[in-house]
């Protein structure tokens, strides 16, 4: 019999027992947001590729403007203008300037750009500069932003829309991303009917399959449905084996009765190795984890709220490990709206609503007697009360992880 493990022990176990799959594929840029980079991205060119002005104005030599002022402008010869989208492949002679738009190229010899507001075009081929420039002023030089070989994004990064902009800028039209892990989802329980059926006496709808499927997809994994299996060890074994054959990981949820948990343990042991039986959290204790080769076989609690928390805290990190994902979740601090007991010797996870009141962010814990809908629907996130904490007073700060 395996001992119940703390959350930290479970996360260490996951790290130790499972290796990244190392399978990558090429993904067009437009489909890349949310995907996990399989390798670092390095620039292969200079950005910008030419020295550019960051203002509308006149490119010139700063030294030619030193000491000028509104009263005594520096008079420079206007040597023409640079057009947007064209190069400036000429040298600027001394005491000359050239008009450049924002983003325009500047000619050789120029080392600053003076904003048009501080100049006066006399219309006779000369321009007055009313404010002295300084070398580098209002310019961005070739490679200032990136240069060949510079790492733009690390492997394991989950790509954002902003990253995509940067990739477009360096001409990346596709990226090498980790393949989505394929996760078989099995629900078990004689009492379960699919969500589109009306439950008969003693029956309930299968909530875990749609819930887990949505969570997996959100996370960038692929969910494969294996439907609802009756509480029958033989049938369950067949389904688990079929799912393990076709998928990278298998999640079995339900089987709240002791007999089914035992059956799931026996099945996992027969398929490979049982690694974990029980996590010291509430809700979520009756969780099992095993592996067949590098394939995780996960048994989640039947209660959807417990299944949801365990999936969030352990299954997603495990799938992230398989995909080489390196991304931290950040929490938002909020004040508890009411005191909350917690004296379990296990970490307690509580869903909450977030409210704003007088500039403060408040977390209103959702209490309900095993109520699943009220615990899930409309919640903004969840917070964790430490194992050794006997409860939190009203006004205590909690760290809320957002859904």
Residues 223-242 that bind its own copies (CB under 8 A): 231
CA distance between the termini of the chain:
34
**Residue 49 makes contact with its own copies by CB under 8 A:** yes
**Do 311 and 212 contact (CB within 8 A), yes or no?**
yes
Reduce the DSSP state of residue 66 to 3 states and report it.
coil
CB closer to its own copies out of 241 and 399: 399
**Do 235 and 167 contact (CB within 8 A), yes or no?**
no
Q: Give me the least distance between CB of 385 and its own copies, in Å please.
A: 18
Binding its own copies (rule: CB under 8 A), the pick from 65, 213, 348, 350 is 213
**Residue 335 makes contact with its own copies by CB under 8 A:** no
**Residue 401 makes contact with its own copies by CB under 8 A:** no
**Residue 82 makes contact with its own copies by CB under 8 A:** yes
**Residue 80 makes contact with its own copies by CB under 8 A:** no
**Residue 402 makes contact with its own copies by CB under 8 A:** yes
**Residue 372 makes contact with its own copies by CB under 8 A:** yes
Residue 131: CA count within 13 A, CB half-sphere: 11
Binding its own copies (rule: CB under 8 A), the pick from 9, 11, 20, 33 is 33
Q: What angle do CA 376, 189, 287 make, to 5 degrees?
A: 60
Q: Which x/- pattern over 246-285 shows residues binding its own copies (rule: CB under 8 A)?
A: ----------xxx---------------------------
CA-nearest of 2, 1, 10 to 347 is: 10
Binding its own copies (rule: CB under 8 A), the pick from 302, 320, 324, 365 is 302
CA distances from 273 to 2, 155, 211, 280 (A): 12, 30, 27, 21
CA-nearest of 11, 25, 18, 16 to 222 is: 25
CA-nearest of 153, 157, 180 to 327 is: 157
Binding its own copies (rule: CB under 8 A), the pick from 133, 304, 320, 324 is 304
Rg (CA), the chain: 31
DSSP β-bridge partners for residue 153: 41
CB closer to its own copies out of 128 and 210: 210
Binding its own copies (rule: CB under 8 A), the pick from 210, 265, 364, 387 is 210
Q: Give me the least distance between CB of 17 and its own copies, in Å please.
A: 25
Q: Rounded to whole angstroms, how far apart are CA atoms 231 and 237?
A: 11
Q: Give me the least distance between CB of 293 and its own copies, in Å please.
A: 28
**Residue 195 makes contact with its own copies by CB under 8 A:** yes
| Interior/surface letters 145-176, b for 16+ CB within 10 angstroms, e for the rest | bbeeeeebbebbbbbeeebbebbeebebeebe
Q: Give me the least distance between CB of 341 and its own copies, in Å please.
A: 17
Binding its own copies (rule: CB under 8 A), the pick from 160, 238, 339, 343 is 160
Piece of the chain touching its own copies by CB under 8 A; list 71-79, 270-278, 288-296, 325-333: 325-333
**Residue 359 makes contact with its own copies by CB under 8 A:** no
**Residue 105 makes contact with its own copies by CB under 8 A:** yes
**Do 403 and 380 contact (CB within 8 A), yes or no?**
yes
Piece of the chain touching its own copies by CB under 8 A; list 6-14, 167-175, 238-246, 274-282: 167-175
CA-nearest of 282, 310, 281 to 296 is: 310
**Residue 145 makes contact with its own copies by CB under 8 A:** yes
**Residue 171 makes contact with its own copies by CB under 8 A:** yes
Binding its own copies (rule: CB under 8 A), the pick from 293, 330, 388, 393 is 330
| Interior/surface letters 204-217, b for 16+ CB within 10 angstroms, e for the rest | ebbbbbbbbbebbe
């Amino acid at each position: 019999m395996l001992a119940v493990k703390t959350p930290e022990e479970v996360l260490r176990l996951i790290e130790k027992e499972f290796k990244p799959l190392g399978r990558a594929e090429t993904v067009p840029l437009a489909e890349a947001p949310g995907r996990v980079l399989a390798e670092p991205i390095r620039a292969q060119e200079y950005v910008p590729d030419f020295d550019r002005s960051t203002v509308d104005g006149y490119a010139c030599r700063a030294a030619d403007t030193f000491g000028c002022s509104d009263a005594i402008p520096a008079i420079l010869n206007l040597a023409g203008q640079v057009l947007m989208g064209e190069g400036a492949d000429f040298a600027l002679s001394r005491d000359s300037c050239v008009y450049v738009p924002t983003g325009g190229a500047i000619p050789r010899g120029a080392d600053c750009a003076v904003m048009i507001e501080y100049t006066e075009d006399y219309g006779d081929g000369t321009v007055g500069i009313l404010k002295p420039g300084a070398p580098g002023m209002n310019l961005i030089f070739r490679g200032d932003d990136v240069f060949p070989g510079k790492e733009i994004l690390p492997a394991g990064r989950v790509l954002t829309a902003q990253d995509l902009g940067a990739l477009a800028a360096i001409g990346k039209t596709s990226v090498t991303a980790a393949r989505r892990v394929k996760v078989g989802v099995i629900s078990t329980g004689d009492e379960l009917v699919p969500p589109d059926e009306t439950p008969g006496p003693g029956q309930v709808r299968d909530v875990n399959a749609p819930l887990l499927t949505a969570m997996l997809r959100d996370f960038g994994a692929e969910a494969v449905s294996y439907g609802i299996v009756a509480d029958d060890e033989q049938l369950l074994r067949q389904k688990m084996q079929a799912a393990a054959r076709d998928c990278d990981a298998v999640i079995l949820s339900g089987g709240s009765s002791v007999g089914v948990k035992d059956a799931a343990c026996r099945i996992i042991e027969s398929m490979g190795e049982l690694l974990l039986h029980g996590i010291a959290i509430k809700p979520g204790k009756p969780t099992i984890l095993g592996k067949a080769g590098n394939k995780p076989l996960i048994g989640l609690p039947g209660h959807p709220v417990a299944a949801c928390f365990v999936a969030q805290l352990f299954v997603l990190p495990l799938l992230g490990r398989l995909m080489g994902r390196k991304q931290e979740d950040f929490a938002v601090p909020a004040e508890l709206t009411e005191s909350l007991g917690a004296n379990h010797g296990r970490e307690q996870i509580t869903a909450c609503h977030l409210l704003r009141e007088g500039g403060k962010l408040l977390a209103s814990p959702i209490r309900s007697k095993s109520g699943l809908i009220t615990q899930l629907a409309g919640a903004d996130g969840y917070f964790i009360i430490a194992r050794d904490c006997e409860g939190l007073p009203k006004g205590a700060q909690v760290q809320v992880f957002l859904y």
